[in-house]
Chain A
Amino acid sequence: MMEEVKEVTPTLSVHADNIKVTEVLKEGDTLTFIIVSQKLSGTGEYHVDRTYDDFEWLQQHLFSQEDVPGIQGVIFPPLPAKAQVNASAKVMKQLGFLGLEEWQPYCKALENFLQQIAAHSILCKNKALEIFLTSSDPPGRQRVRKNIFNRLSQAVVEMRKESHKDVDEFFQTERDHNLVLTGCTKTATERFLDVVLTEQKIAVACGHFSAALQLCVEQGEDPDKQAFSKACVKLSEVFNSMMKNMTSVAENNVNTLGVGLDLESRYQEAEKEMLFRRTCKLVELETARRNAEKAKPVKKAAMEEVKKAAETEFDHICGVAKQEIAQFHGLRVKMLQQALVQWCEKQLLTAKEKADQFDQHLQAFRGMA
């Protein structure tokens, strides 16, 4: 475990926006990711290899910065679920778009994760990031300590707090809005995934049909046989084109809008978690206030201390949260716009290419007849 450095630490020694996950290697059951970053000073590069456990290590360190005031108000960049070689159907479903296309979208998601941390004014100061990106040794594969933010470990009874009425209209609105958006985005993402999976099935079916047509080629001098065979071969080519088209369309969908929706969905969840943490703190504060009020004179001073601490912490969190929310609003619009524009451009390009190809096939066929 590393020390928390108290004095002002230098920020990251690499360019934040140039961090790339360039490769993914399968070593037995584990996936290893190659991460390349550009040195700020000079023209050097860092190349490191990391596994998912290393990413989790980084995340834990970010979560456990208790000395940073209002850290609980931060919307932490979301880390995707663990990717596995030969993943089960359940895992694949959870990964959604990230599990497709030979892990390329997954690498992009990890890349985004690192870039967002590096660009974050509070998080980039954490030493863990520097070590993660630059140290040639893996940062250590043991878990730091219990993740205090781990929702899963929170008692079910805590979930009640989610709907606790807020004292601040700004936050109440944000919570309500977030709830709606999280639901909508998740649904849209899942349905888009269904579309892509069906497109892949169609591509396979076109491939089968194309292969079956090849089998229809008949030998012989007979002009009718030859004409039929030629027609079959040509049609087989057409369906091969269709297969490639569908594959491209599906790929485009995954790499642009698919990952875009996925990222938006996970970020909405991250905001939800932050708002929940704040709500929990609010409940804690209100409890502390009540306790301080009701406290017997013996305990009163101690309760007041607790109350004051809670108030301070809550104020810090609200301050950070407001900033985070403002930034997040800007960020997500930018991300979605990028995704939509890229998606449209890629599909447009593919459609134009295919239109030309199909037209050629048609002309060739007419010429044959």
Chain B
Amino acid sequence: MIHSLFLVNASGDIFLEKHWKSVVSRSVCDYFFEALERATEPENVPPVIPTPHHYLINVLRHRIYFVAVIQSEVPPLFVIEFLHRVVDTFQDYFGVCTEAAIKDNVVVVYELLEEMLDNGFPLATESNILKELIKPPTILRTVVNTITGSTNVGEQLPTGQLSVVPWRRTGVKYTNNEAYFDVIEEIDAIIDKSGSTITAEIQGVIDACVKLTGMPDLTLSFMNPRLLDDVSFHPCVRFKRWEAERILSFIPPDGNFRLLSYHVSSQNLVAIPVYVKHNISFREGSSQGRFELTLGPKQTMGKAVESVLVSSQLPRGVLNANLNPSQGTYTFDPVTKLLSWDVGKINPQKLPSLKGSMSLQAGASKPDENPTINIQFKIQQLAISGLKVNRLDMYGEKYKPFKGIKYMTKAGKFQVRT
């Protein structure tokens, strides 16, 4: 399956290599570099690249390319999914997954990669199991280890590996037993020039942070489970129970995990919480363009729209932009032509606006297309689909845990065409 792995940074240097079978020369990456040079944007590198004797499958995360070398037929998603799992694990262990973090922890990285794959086939990818085998580096542990000579490497086979609940280890103990669930929904939308919605959908996830002693068995039920159209579960969720009763019943993993991701059925009309008034125009023959943008809230169920960030890729002909925001700050990068405006919170009484002029290259013709505007925002304490958790119950343990549920709505891929 996976033969070797090369990590390549943004400037095109291989800074780590790992082989699970016999060594593959790093010159195989030349084919990757060729593709990299051909691509106009870092994202445009094709994920699967054939070479005469191997196949290269790469993913780009945190400006690092994870290039896996494959020798024969394998489902490409298998490799892609695994590489993403590797990145998630690094992030889990080191907090960030950057070149510096990987280089600083190269031994742990190597130990992890060794445990995650055997002969190129995934062996242990469950974070709970890995953490028992190789303890994440912390400052305290590093100090203790240097003094006592103990190690980060576990000596026993993690209990999870053999049990029917591989995601949870036995003997978990907490003094404060708590379980928090975050219901986070994202709105993906394309709004056309006139402000009407071309497409809009809601995707949600429930992220959990569960710190409970022993082997608790939790059930979570919703007031309106019918909203959930398509769901995917963490392996801990009992599918049969969901099918029959629409109740999430599970023995949770220890710590942070994603319990569920869902898609809200498309029959429901999606409430669009912000609107944009825009006037972006270029005149033929003139080297000036007008830029006007006003944001306002709508259908927010009385909640404030926060952390608003507007960004737009202006046409190549634009040399500079001279704009005046009514609130927040804006930046314009004359090289990448990227305009971004950090708005902050929208005050419904005084709508934020960004007005001014753009200067165009002298003599250049009027750009064909007006730029697309991407908007990010957050609304606290609101699940825009109206999804509500009904109850959370715990069985199997005697103590009374502290429970909390938080709702949030965010913009996903929210675009306004102008």
A binds B: no
Chain A residues proximal to chain B, CB less than 8 Å: none
